[in-house]
Chain A
Amino acid sequence: MLLIHCPYCDETLPEAEFTYAGQAHVIRHPEPSSQTDQEWEEFLFIRENVKGDHFERWRHFHGCGRYFNAVRNTVSDKFLTTYKAGAPRPQLSDLKEGGE
Chain B
Amino acid sequence: MSLYRVAGKGRVTTAKPVSFSFDGRTYKGLEGDTVASALLANGVHLMGRSFKYHRPRGPVAAGSEEPNALIGTRRGPGRFEPNTRATVQEIWDGLQVTSQNKYPSLKFDIGAVNDAAYMLFSAGFYYKTFMWPKSFWHKVYEPFIRAAAGLGVSPTEEDPDTYASRNMHCDLLIVGAGPTGLAAARAAAMDGLKVVVVDENPEAGGSLLSEPQVQINGQSAWDWLSGELDALQELGVKVMTRTTAIGYYHQNMIGLCEKVTDHLAVLPEDTPRERMWRVRAKQVVLAQGALEKPLVFNGNDRPGVMLAGSAQTYLNRYGVLVGKQPVILTSHDSAWHAAFDLHDAGAKVQAIVDTRDSVNEALQKEARDRGIPVKLSHTATGTSGRLRVKSLRVNPVSGATVGAGYNIACDAVLMSGGWTPSLHLFSHTKGSLAWDDDRTTFLPKETPEDCVIAGASRGLWGVAAALMDGAEKGRAVVAALGKKANVQDYSVEVDRAGSGVSHKELPTDQNPGKAKAFIDFQNDVTAKDVRLAVREGMRSIEHVKRYTTTGMATDQGKMSNINGLNIAADALGKKQPEVGLTTFRPPYTPTTFGAFAGYHRGDHFEVVRKTQIDSWAEENGAVFEPVGQWRRAWYFPKSGEDMDAAVRRECAATRASVGIFDASTLGKIEVVGPDAVEFMNRMYTNPWTKLAPGRCRYGLLLGDDGYIRDDGVIGRLSQDRFHVTTTTGGAARVLNMMEDYLQTEWPELNVWLTSTSEQWSTIALNGPNAAKLLQPLVDGVELTEEAFPHMSCIECTVAGLPARLFRVSFTGEIGFEVNVPAPYGRQLWEALWDAGQQYDITAYGTETMHVLRAEKGYIIVGQDTDGTVTPYDAGMGWAVGKKKPDFVGMRGLARPDLVAEGRKHLVGLLTEDHSKLEEGAQIVFDKNQPIPMTMVGHVTSSYDVGTTGRPIALALVEGGHDKVGDTVYIPMPDRTIAAKITDTVFYDPENNRLKIGSGV
A69-96: contact bitstring with B at CB < 8 Å (1 yes, 0 no)? 0000000111000000110000000000
Cβ-closest chain B residue relative to A26 = B744
Q: How far is the CA of A43 from the CA of B743 in the complex (A)?
A: 18
Q: How far is the CA of A67 from the CA of B250 in the complex (A)?
A: 23
Question: Is B743 touching A85 in the complex (CB atoms < 8 A)?
Answer: yes
CB neighbours (8 Å) of B745 from chain A are 28
Is B693 among interface residues, defined by CB-CB distance under 8 A? no
Question: Is A1 touching B249 in the complex (CB atoms < 8 A)?
Answer: yes
Known: A32-B891, A33-B891, A66-B743. A44 touches B249 (CB 8 A): no
Known: A32-B886, A76-B448, A85-B744. A65 touches B895 (CB 8 A): no
Chain B nearest CB from A59 CB (Å) reads 8
CB neighbours (8 Å) of B537 from chain A are none
CB neighbours (8 Å) of B894 from chain A are 33
Is B885 among interface residues, defined by CB-CB distance under 8 A? yes
CB neighbours (8 Å) of A37 from chain B are 895-896
**Interface size of A in residues (CB-CB distance below 8 Å):** 24
Question: Is B891 touching A1 in the complex (CB atoms < 8 A)?
Answer: no
Is A9 among interface residues, defined by CB-CB distance under 8 A? no
Within 8 A of B (CB), among A1-40: 1-3, 21, 28, 31-33, 35, 37, 40
Chain B nearest CB from A21 CB (Å) reads 7
Known: A32-B886, A44-B704. A67 touches B739 (CB 8 A): yes
Is B253 among interface residues, defined by CB-CB distance under 8 A? yes
Cβ-closest chain A residue relative to B896 = A37
Is B740 among interface residues, defined by CB-CB distance under 8 A? yes
Cβ-closest chain A residue relative to B753 = A65
Question: Is A67 touching B886 in the complex (CB atoms < 8 A)?
Answer: no
Cβ-closest chain A residue relative to B886 = A32
CB neighbours (8 Å) of A76 from chain B are 430, 448
Is B779 among interface residues, defined by CB-CB distance under 8 A? no
Known: A37-B895, A77-B250. A65 touches B744 (CB 8 A): no
**Interface size of B in residues (CB-CB distance below 8 Å):** 24
Within 8 A of A (CB), among B745-767: 745, 747
B856-899: contact bitstring with A at CB < 8 Å (1 yes, 0 no)? 00000000000000000000000000000110001110111000
Chain A nearest CB from B748 CB (Å) reads 11
Question: Is A2 touching B250 in the complex (CB atoms < 8 A)?
Answer: yes
Question: Is B250 touching A1 in the complex (CB atoms < 8 A)?
Answer: yes
Q: How far is the CA of A85 from the CA of B746 in the complex (A)?
A: 11
Chain B nearest CB from A47 CB (Å) reads 14
Question: Is A67 touching B740 in the complex (CB atoms < 8 A)?
Answer: yes
CB neighbours (8 Å) of B704 from chain A are 28, 32, 43-44
Is B401 among interface residues, defined by CB-CB distance under 8 A? no
Question: Is B744 touching A33 in the complex (CB atoms < 8 A)?
Answer: no
Q: How far is the CA of A32 from the CA of B706 in the complex (A)?
A: 12
Question: Is B740 touching A21 in the complex (CB atoms < 8 A)?
Answer: yes
Is B251 among interface residues, defined by CB-CB distance under 8 A? yes
Cβ-closest chain B residue relative to A22 = B740
Question: Is B892 touching A67 in the complex (CB atoms < 8 A)?
Answer: no
CB neighbours (8 Å) of B542 from chain A are none
Question: Is A33 touching B250 in the complex (CB atoms < 8 A)?
Answer: no
Chain A nearest CB from B708 CB (Å) reads 16
> Chain A CB within 10 Å — which of B739, B743, B891, B896 has the most?
B891
Is B493 among interface residues, defined by CB-CB distance under 8 A? no
CB neighbours (8 Å) of B891 from chain A are 32-33, 35, 40
Question: Is A33 touching B739 in the complex (CB atoms < 8 A)?
Answer: no
CB neighbours (8 Å) of B739 from chain A are 59, 65, 67
Q: How far is the CA of A44 from the CA of B707 in the complex (A)?
A: 12
CB neighbours (8 Å) of A57 from chain B are 744
Known: A33-B885, A37-B896. A67 touches B253 (CB 8 A): no
Q: How far is the CA of A65 from the CA of B448 in the complex (A)?
A: 31
Q: Which of A2, A33, A40 contacts B895 (CB 8 A)?
A: A40
Q: How far is the CA of A43 from the CA of B886 in the complex (A)?
A: 16
Is B570 among interface residues, defined by CB-CB distance under 8 A? no
Q: How far is the CA of A15 from the CA of B110 in the complex (A)?
A: 52
Chain B nearest CB from A26 CB (Å) reads 10
Chain B nearest CB from A52 CB (Å) reads 14
Q: How far is the CA of A86 from the CA of B890 in the complex (A)?
A: 24
Q: Which of B747, B890, B892, B896 contacts A44 (CB 8 A)?
A: B892
CB neighbours (8 Å) of A32 from chain B are 704, 886, 890-891
Q: How far is the CA of A53 from the CA of B891 in the complex (A)?
A: 32
Question: Is A67 touching B890 in the complex (CB atoms < 8 A)?
Answer: no
CB neighbours (8 Å) of A65 from chain B are 739
Which residues of A come within 8 Å of B, CB atoms?
Answer: 1-3, 21, 28, 31-33, 35, 37, 40-41, 43-44, 57, 59, 65-67, 76-78, 85-86
The 10 closest A-B pairs by CB, nearest first: A32-B891, A67-B743, A2-B250, A3-B251, A85-B744, A28-B745, A76-B448, A67-B744, A1-B253, A44-B705
Q: List 7 A-B contacts (CB under 8 A).
A: A1-B249, A3-B251, A33-B891, A43-B704, A57-B744, A59-B739, A66-B743
Query: Apart from A32-B886, A37-B895, what are 10 other A-B pairs with CB-CB below 8 Å?
Result: A1-B278, A2-B250, A2-B251, A3-B250, A33-B891, A35-B891, A41-B895, A43-B704, A67-B739, A67-B740
